[in-house]
Amino acid sequence: MTQPLKVVVVGNGMVGYKFCEKLLTKVGGGLFSITVIGEEPRPAYDRVHLSAYFSGTSVEELTMAPASWYAEHGIQLLTGECVVKIDPAAHYVQTHTGLQIPYDKLVLATGSGAFVPPVPGVEKEGVFVYRTIEDLDAIIGYSKGATRAAVIGGGLLGLEAAKATLDLGLETHVVEFAPRLMPRQLDAAGAGMLKRKMEALGIQIHLNKNTSQFDGGAAVVGLSFADGTSLEVDMVVISAGIRPRDELAKQAAIAVGPRGGIVVNDQLQTSHPDIYAIGECALHQGMIYGLVAPGYEMAEVVANNLVQGPTVKEFKAFDMSTKLKLIGVDVASFGEPFCEQTPHDTIVVEDKLKGIYKRLNVTTDGKYLLGGILVGEAENYNMLLQTVKNRLVLPPNPEDLVLPARKGDGASAGAGVAALPDEASICSCENITKGAICQAIEEHNLPDVAAIKKCTKAGTGCGGCVPMLSDLLTETLKKQGKVVKKVLCEHFDYSRQEMYHLIQTSGTRTYDEVVAKFGKGCGCEVCKPAVASMLASIYNDVIAKQAVIQDTNDRFMANIQRGGTYSVVPRVPGGEITPEQLIALGTVAKKYDLYCKITGGQRVDLFGARVEQLPSIWEELLEVGFESGHAYGKSLRTVKSCVGSTWCRFGVQDAVGFAIRVENRYKGIRSPHKLKSAVSGCTRECAEAQSKDFGIIATDKGWNLYVCGNGGIKPQHALLLASDLDDETCLKYIDRFLMFYIKTAEPLQRTATWFNKLEGGMEYLRDVIINDSLGIAAELERELQYLVDTYHDEWRVAVETPEIRARFSHFVNVEEPDPTLEFVEMRGQKRPADW
């Protein structure tokens, strides 16, 4: 019987793990005896998303596969073992504990280490690198006694490290040797835009800085620069680049490059044919690849060639396009971002107000896209990259590719994907083509993106290709003649719009009735709150009656906060509040020891209430005229207001009075997602109405009504629906708009997202709302008026209904409060203790 080939893998990072996975999929075990040696104390984990560790993601969640996976597949995994010697002649490796492990084929996946500049004082206490879980644990521990941190390096890793120190509550400085941030990915204009966004977040940027010394005694207290300036800090994180781990190769006389890296050929063999190198330690045609996608491709090449022979598959120069989110900011570069050697013309779109920069490099004849840069918004990255890689002919106006599209044409993205050739690589991490994905959908009847991921592995790496997988699924099913339908979830074979109509026409008023009549099973966390929202939008029943299908916030009519306590946010229409109400807020806050904060929506938040205290707090607030502010619900939050003509010399209409009227009209109305509004008393726009779901701006003749704006992660200005409206007409159009949105949007879909997918865009919306093109205006007004007429204050109902009030206890069998609650003092008030 033929003995299995002994394959030893040195290094258990992402690429080492991926090599094992790919080798197993090609042979299914038996032909190889695989041993993996990793110097870290745990199996491979996801370094791409390492920063998530600071925001609560556990080591287990980051782990690529547990130790049990290796055992189940017959792989010997040795963790905490460091290989110190390779003997190419005798075909064995030796670890620091003296283990000698023989091999037939050796795969070096040693990756890279953090580059630490040889600067005097770099060994001081408080200086860290940003590379492993252990590094992150050390940073977290030291940060508890620090206040100001400097990150040396303004590249990808440096900005990730800056995000980490910012999350740790430290004053953060980024020190970069180059004249701009991310010099390998961004041009001067794009880097400038990124710098402004970083500074807006409170990160201070220092460019053109060459660190000459780490100041201090045993511990670092600052940095000195070559230009004579200095920076006081008590913690430093070095993230100035990587160095390939090639020390084993040097020891074994394996060829390395003049600046480091293990030299490999197109089969990824080193100067010893039985030894391969993959990932960041490998130097291929003078290039070290610092991204995970080329590392995975290297793993694929070696696995193929071990199974089928050394010349079957070759590694080619790999595209280094990349898209990532740095500190909440989209950044991407693709193709040739600078085109330094290629004749080209440039298209630039720059919006300094929104912090968006987009650059396209096109051929001088305008036919083809060569590359580009995206900062602040990178939704089109996937299609732009495919346009470059597949040399697709550009449209007559190439700038349309990066200009904002607000037509609500939901088909465009899918059509773009459909136009790609079958050989187009959709998932660069796993190198999976469009043709392979479409074939898998057809042959295996894959119903959703999750099934595509499981079947093909596409989308399981960085995740950047997932939107294209969704588009490919839709297009493939359409070609098969199948109905592409968005159902609520596995328990209901209807869309939200269909469910809304069925509930309304059938008269069903509880979740149990709805699932019995139109669904199956017991429901889930997707359909239960969606149905609860629809029931509330149709019948306006007390939401607490549906507590069994609500999340925690709606169940207790308060937002659960970090630490396990709740916030109390009473409604303050238009921001107008009486002295008696202000006194009551202070009295309640003092009595229950609550943290107080004035919100951006002109209300007062009271934080730190225990669940059993909520009804008592509400009772005291109700006595002075307060009611629920619905800060916990998918409903109207606030109608922000300036003082308008009441006090302001520029005001042309009574903004406060109208804001109060608007808020009192629409308060409590449940919708697919939260709603925010504002009324500005003149075009100076002090209430920021154009960033709201519906905003109203005063004119000399009345009101301009704007709809479908959005703040948050993707800010979007609202668009003008109608001009110079009187009070009654303005409210009538808002009635119609809100009910049309409530009836047709998807679950948890904000008005801006709903509008962007609305076929026909603003022209269509005006036809429906103003011109009544669908003949439903009277119906929309009638349904909205019903909600206004049946309004109830949810706090008062809870306080006055014994069975609802009885729910407000931490333990079901005793009256004791939660004993685990911990608080610390901060600026004269309390806050939750750190986790």
Question: Which residues in 87-116 are b (16+ Cβ under 10 Å) and which e?
Answer: ebeebbbebeeeeebebebbbbbbbbbbee
427 is in an annotated binding site: no
The total of other beta-carbon atoms located within 10 Å of residue 440's CB is 18
What CA–CA distance (Å, rounded) separates 226 from 67?
48
Distance CA 675, CA 659 (A): 14
Rounded to whole angstroms, the Cα distance separating 817 from 609 reads: 11
Query: φ, ψ for residue 308 (rounded to 5)?
Result: -110, -10
Is position 642 annotated in a ligand binding site? yes
Beta bridge partners of 34: 7
CB under 8 A, 24+ apart: contacts of 413-417: 413/383, 413/467, 413/471, 414/471, 414/474, 414/475, 415/475, 416/383, 416/471, 417/383, 417/386, 417/468, 417/471, 417/472, 417/475
Question: β-strands 702-707, 719-725: how paired?
Answer: antiparallel
Terminal C-alpha separation, the chain? 57
Q: How does DSSP assign 219-232, residue by residue? A: BEEEEEETTS-EEE
Question: Burial level of 362, CB count in 10 A (0-12/13-18/19+)?
Answer: buried
Residue with tokens 């620090």: 146
Residue pair 715/672 in contact by the 8 Å Cβ criterion: no
Structure tokens at 269: 């063999």
Name residue 798's amino acid. A
Residue 455 assigned to a binding site = no
Non-local (6+) Cβ contacts of 775 within 8 A are none
Beta-strand runs (E) in 449-545? none
Residue 648 assigned to a binding site: yes
With tokens 């069903």, the residue in question is 508
**Burial level of 396, CB count in 10 A (0-12/13-18/19+)?**
exposed
CB-based contacts of 688-694 (< 8 A; 24+ apart in sequence): 688/640, 689/640, 689/718, 690/717, 690/718, 691/715, 691/717, 691/718, 692/640, 692/718, 693/718, 693/750, 693/751, 693/752, 694/718, 694/734, 694/737, 694/738, 694/751
**Planar angle of CA 274, 277, 283, nearest 5 degrees:** 125
Q: How far is CA 39 from the centre of its chain?
A: 32
Q: Which string of b and e fits 614-652 if b means at least 16 CB within 10 Å?
A: bbbbbbebbebebbbbbbbbbbbbbbbbbbbbeeeeebb
* Buried/exposed 673-703: b ≥16 CB within 10 Å, e otherwise: bbbbbbbbbbeebbbbbbbbbbbbbbeeebb
Count of CB atoms situated within 10 Å of the CB of 669 = 21
- Tokens representing 675 are 């709603």
Backbone torsion region of residue 422, taken as left when φ is above 0, otherwise alpha when ψ lies between -120 and 50, otherwise beta: alpha
The DSSP code for 4 is: P
How would DSSP label each residue in 550-578? S-HHHHHTS-B-TTS-EEE-B--GGG---
**Contacts for 343-352: CB closer than 8 Å, 24+ residues apart:** 344/370, 347/398, 347/399, 347/402, 348/189, 349/399, 349/402, 349/403, 350/189, 350/193, 351/376, 352/193, 352/196
Please check whether residue 271 is in contact with residue 263, taking contact to mean a CB–CB distance below 8 angstroms: yes
Measure the CA–CA gap between 492 and 489, rounded to whole angstroms. 6
Residues at the annotated binding site?
Answer: 642, 648, 682, 686
Annotated binding site for [4Fe-4S] cluster: 642, 648, 682, 686
Give binding residues for siroheme as ranges: 686
